Amino acid sequence: MDLNNIPKPTESELEILQILWLHGPSSVRFVNEKLNEEREVGYTTTLKLMQIMVDKGLALRNTESRTHIYQAAVSEADTQKRLLQKFVDTTFRGSAMKLVMQALGNHQASPEELDEIKALIEKMESGGDDN
């Protein structure tokens, strides 16, 4: 696959990335077991997906030992940012604020979390040009 220019991960690939981000470099077996805590997936299915991810540049693998070790090749924060951008565009016509309001309204937040958000807003309102 094209070095540089890494594509958007699919649903299944994102699930695997979540595991790699959370647990660090992992074997296919480990990832497959984690996936199977959520839903049934065959071992070779997971293997194939992870091989494709390497091909796409979403993951790297170390083939020194017989059991190959895979790791994420894209960062969680960057990926979230990219996917969020696209999601805001397609689902909220680019209005991040509408999304924020929806998210705040739908999900209940703890007082601590709300304070965190308020703090961020304060910061944005004071030094409110850059970023």
Range 18-47, binding a copy of itself (CB under 8 A): 18, 22
Nearest to 7 by CA among 46, 48, 59: 59
How many residues contact a copy of itself, by CB under 8 A? 43
- Smallest distance, a copy of itself to C-beta of residue 27, A: 21
Say whether residue 78 binds a copy of itself (CB under 8 A).
no
- Smallest distance, a copy of itself to C-beta of residue 84, A: 6
Tokens of 87: 């999601």
Q: Write b or e for each residue in 33-58: b if 16 or more Cβ atoms lie within 10 A of its Cβ, otherwise e.
A: ebbeeeeebeeeebbebbeebbebbb
Closer CB to a copy of itself, 1 or 109, in the complex: 109
CA separation, residue 69 to residues 23, 72, 73, 124, 130 (Å):
12, 10, 12, 42, 40
Name the residues that contact a copy of itself, by CB under 8 A. 11, 14-15, 18, 22, 79-81, 83-85, 87-88, 90-93, 96-109, 111, 113-114, 116-118, 120-121, 124-125, 128, 131
